[in-house]
A and B are shown apart, each in its own frame.
Chain A
Amino acid sequence: MDIIKQFLFSFMSTVGFAVLFNCPKNSVLYAGAVGSIGWLFYYITYAVTKNNVAAPFIGALTVGILGEILARKNKKPATIYITAGIIPLVPGAGAYYTMLHLIENEFSLAASKGVETFFIAAAISTGIIISSIFSKSIKRVRQKE
């Protein structure tokens, strides 16, 4: 039940961001699907490992791979699926709490929250980069054959 709820919420949220980013009309639902499946992988990984960095990495990797597959299939750049798809994973709350701690003069709390936020962002980028490198090398191998 909880999983279905998470899926629905992240789907709606990604679709919303896709429209905000002016995603082409026929790709909005794809972007939503990519984002929500990525979020599910994130959610499950987090539930299993309780790791703040591994979970967004797995989520972003899923988003990246799905985005590259759809890009290949629909002959469109992968960014249009990935940009909106990673938004649910992005550490917006982390950035907010970092700044809140700063205002409350809790500098050590702010530092630890800030570092965590940075590492989550780095994990997301790594996931996306790995998936795009994979797709590039598959393309190269196919061209050689």
Chain B
Amino acid sequence: MIYLKDSDKEEVKKLLVLASLAGRVMLKAGAETYRVEDTVIRICQSRKDIQHVDAFVVPTGIFISLEYKGELISYIKRIKTISIDLNKITLVNEFSRNFVSSNMSIDEGINEIKRISKIKTYPILIKSFFGAIASGFSCLLFKGTFFDFVATLLVSFTVTYLLNYISKLKSSFFIDKFIASVFISIMSLLLVKIGIGNNLDKVIIGSIMSLVPGVAITNAIRDTMSGDFLSGLSRGMEAIFTALAIAFGVGIVLFFS
């Protein structure tokens, strides 16, 4: 047990801010609910005199409360967008382990978390390239031909690149996915018409693989099965509406073609 430096309320409040920041970075990076709850609780319990720590985490917010010398302090943090970033999950995980087992000061901890939250993802060109590879080989797994593979590569490279700029408008995940899937279907149609690509459905399925809410669906069912019903519902809604956005996008283009 590590004693607080000047054990007063300000320090405890800062600790709470630190815990909520760590939780927010993890949750925004798409970590599982139980992992965020664990991390937040572990960070709060690592300092002395803090009792009755509890955290309630749903994909749209974090609620923490704790008792310090007979006084209740609580903190709420609202989360808006979630985009998967495995690197940040790993870093915060390492940080929380370090923080709990060492004598790191709370200010240092807050600076460290802020540094982690600002770490950039891979550059957009590399991301688009690997996005193209991911979709292209998925298309081959669905028994597409070589020409389908080439078409999928072209389509998904452009779409991943485009999606990066669309998501900067911060409209909503629904609109983003809708525009992307409209674009995918138009471009696939054109490429198949030209003769690059033989099967329209294989090209479209391959290209929407990077939009399809596969991770969201499995996470939703996983949360529900482990008893986090509210998170399960919330992630499930996200999954259903993402699938709907893609369906509308592809459907409208196929309808008018």
Q: Which residues of A contact B77 (CB under 8 A)?
A: none
CB-based contact B225/A87 at 8 Å: no
Interface membership of B42, Cβ < 8 A: no
CB-based contact B137/A103 at 8 Å: no
In the complex formed, the residue of B with least CB distance to A8 is B137
Given contacts A16-B135, A19-B130, contact A87 B214 (CB under 8 A): yes
Interface membership of B86, Cβ < 8 A: yes
Instruction: Write the nearest CB–CB distance from B155 to chain A, whole angstroms.
Output: 14
In the complex formed, the residue of A with least CB distance to B32 is A79
Q: Is the interface of A mostly helix, strand, loop or mixed?
A: helix
CB-based contact B89/A96 at 8 Å: no
CB < 8 Å neighbour of A13 from B133, B214, B219, B243: B133
Contact-residue size bin, chain B (C-beta under 8 Å from the other chain):
35 or more
A-B contact count (CB 8 A): 150
Instruction: Write the nearest CB–CB distance from B30 to chain A, whole angstroms.
Output: 8
Given contacts A20-B131, A80-B90, A91-B214, contact A99 B243 (CB under 8 A): yes
Interface membership of B210, Cβ < 8 A: yes
Interface membership of A52, Cβ < 8 A: no
CB-based contact B90/A122 at 8 Å: no
Q: Which residues of A contact B243 (CB under 8 A)?
A: 95, 99
CB-based contact B130/A88 at 8 Å: no
Interface membership of A129, Cβ < 8 A: yes
* Alpha-carbon distance between A143 and B226 when the two chains are bound, in angstroms: 23
Q: Which residues of B contact A37 (CB under 8 A)?
A: none
CB < 8 Å neighbour of B137 from A16, A18, A93, A96: A16
Contact with A along B130-173 (1 / 0, CB 8 A): 11111111101110000000000000000010000000000000
Instruction: Write the nearest CB–CB distance from A27 to chain B, whole angstroms.
Output: 8
Which of B31, B90, B142, B219 has its CB near the most chain A CB atoms (within 10 A)? B90
CB < 8 Å neighbour of A129 from B30, B136, B141, B225: B225
* Alpha-carbon distance between A91 and B138 when the two chains are bound, in angstroms: 11
* Alpha-carbon distance between A112 and B226 when the two chains are bound, in angstroms: 27
Interface membership of A29, Cβ < 8 A: no
Q: Which residues of A contact B219 (CB under 8 A)?
A: 125
Residues of chain A at the chain B interface (Cβ within 8 Å): 6, 9-10, 12-24, 27, 39, 76-77, 79-80, 83-84, 86-88, 90-93, 95-96, 98-100, 102-103, 121-122, 124-126, 128-129
26 A-B residue contacts at CB 8 Å?
A12-B136, A12-B137, A15-B133, A16-B137, A17-B134, A17-B210, A19-B122, A21-B30, A24-B87, A76-B93, A77-B89, A79-B31, A80-B90, A88-B138, A88-B141, A90-B212, A90-B214, A90-B217, A92-B208, A96-B201, A98-B247, A100-B254, A103-B254, A103-B255, A126-B225, A128-B218
Given A84-B86, A103-B251, 13 more pairs with CB closer than 8 A: A16-B136, A16-B137, A17-B210, A20-B127, A27-B86, A77-B35, A79-B31, A92-B214, A93-B142, A100-B201, A102-B247, A103-B255, A125-B222
